[in-house]
Amino acid sequence: MTDAPMATAEAARHALHTMWSIRRFEEAVDDLFARGLMHGTMHLSIGQEASATGVCMALRPDDAITSTHRGHGHCIGKGADLTRMMAELLAKETGYCRGRGGSMHIADVATGNLGANGIVAGGIPIATGAALAYRMRGEDRVVACFFGDGATNEGAFHEAVNLAAIWKLPVVFVCENNKYGMSFSTEKSMAVENIADRAAAYGIPGVTVDGNDVSAVYEATRTAVDRARAGEGPTLVENLTYRWKGHSKSDKNLYRTKEEISEWRALDPILRFEHDLKESGLLSEEDIQGIRTQAMEEMRDAVRTANSAPDADPSDLLDAVFAPV
């Protein structure tokens, strides 16, 4: 748990560096895929960096998260190593999942990431269960559960939130509402105005936040985390944000207008945070440029190092099907 992004220069640097790391990582993935150098499919979170960054900054290192198919940012926000993440995407033995997981399953368990998930809403009950475990063991750890707007229409969301609510579990349900469940807009997919309104049905607080404002995200999450740690149960935090890129690589963006994409691109959470920092005098233009350069160099190093690692070895593919007894 760090201070608020605007509280100290150190916190500001951390927030900005995290957001740029996410942006650069996603750009690198985009570029490598576009060149035919990367396998599979990927769901990029460009434009949503403030949500992952603000939420993770409100967590302690020993707190946990559950993540989604659009999980690269959560993974980085929680402190994962860019090289091992990139190695996973490049199908290397040194990847976090030894090449078995790929984009949709990258997770660094050591930094508290309990897994990215290819199933919409699949991680929500898992977060509830992890929180249950901490509660039962008397540990004061909290789980932040990331999911998208689409997941809140899955039964798993309702069941898991209800369980967490009746058991007052230390979990923060973080909905990254980027307005579209693949191509289905929230206007069409639900009859309530905000996803946060759904919290009322389970007797827990629900807040809607400007998800492109890293400070606002941090504050809302911090409040929810403190409540959870104090035994007051879960909170539903709704971060309103937007993904610049398509749902996945083969998305023609037919369900939204170029104007809408342009409007949201103008609301770039990183540029906005840089602007706020310069306004407040917390960081100088040079500081900011330094962080940008650092993030770019780190990403280039990560790509190079990851690419030079040995490819994932198929010879022991059966080894991890079962854990050794």
Write out the catalytic residue numbers: 243, 247, 255
Binding characters for other proteins, 281-300, by CB under 8 A (x = yes): ---------------x--xx
Q: Which is nearer to other proteins, 87 or 220 (CB)?
A: 87
Stretch near other proteins under the rule CB under 8 A, chosen from 122-130, 216-224, 230-238, 280-288? 122-130
Please, which residue, 8 or 61, has the CB nearer to other proteins?
61
Residues 63-82 that bind other proteins (CB under 8 A): 64, 66
CB 311 within 8 A of CB 89: no
Q: Shortest distance, CB of residue 203 to other proteins, whole angstroms?
A: 13
Between strands 143-148 and 171-177, the pairing is parallel
Q: Looking at beta carbons only, is 163 or 282 nearer to other proteins?
A: 163
- Side chain identity at residue 246, one-letter code: G
- Rounded-to-integer distance, Cα 2 and Cα 47, Å: 22
Residue 109 CB, shortest distance to other proteins, in Å, is: 4
User: Residues 15, 21, 22, 33: which binds other proteins (CB under 8 A)?
Assistant: 33
Q: Is residue 214 a contact residue for other proteins (CB under 8 A)?
A: no
Strand partners, 180: 185
Q: What is the per-residue binding string for other proteins in 80-119, x denoting contact by CB under 8 A?
A: -------------x-xxxxxxx---x-x-xx---xx-xxx
Distance CA 70, CA 45 (A): 6
Please, which residue, 131 or 209, has the CB nearer to other proteins? 131
> How many other C-beta atoms can be found within 10 angstroms of the C-beta atom of residue 179?
18
> What is the CB-side half-sphere exposure of residue 223 using CA atoms within 13 A?
13
Distances from the Cα of 107 to the Cα of 39, 80, 101, 116, angstroms: 18, 8, 9, 6
Q: Which is nearer to other proteins, 119 or 192 (CB)?
A: 119
Number of residues engaging other proteins in binding (CB under 8 A): 81
**Contact pattern for other proteins over residues 224 through 263, marking x by CB under 8 A:** -------------------------xx-x-----------
Task: Output 36 or 281, the one with its CB closest to other proteins.
Answer: 36
Is 14 an interacting residue with respect to other proteins (CB under 8 A)? Answer: no
Among 72, 90, 89, CA closest to 80: 72
Q: Give the pair of three-digit tokens for residue 27.
A: 């750009």
Q: Select from 61, 260, 265, 271 the one that contacts other proteins (CB under 8 A).
A: 265
Considering only 136, 200, 230, 271, the residue that binds other proteins (CB under 8 A) is 136
What the block records as the tokens of 122 is 């699949």
Place of tokens 């790509």: 303
Interface region with other proteins, contact rule CB under 8 A, candidates 72-80, 157-165, 190-198, 218-226: 157-165
Minimum distance from residue 246 beta carbon to other proteins (Å): 9
Q: Does 122 bind other proteins (CB under 8 A)?
A: yes
Write each residue from 181 to 200 as x if it is in contact with other proteins (CB under 8 A), else as -, in one continuous string. --------------------
The β-bridge partners of 34 are none
How far is it, in rounded angstroms, from Cα 66 to Cα 145? Answer: 5
Under the binding rule (CB under 8 A), the answer on residue 32 touching other proteins is yes
In whole angstroms, how close is the CB of 158 to other proteins at the nearest point? 8
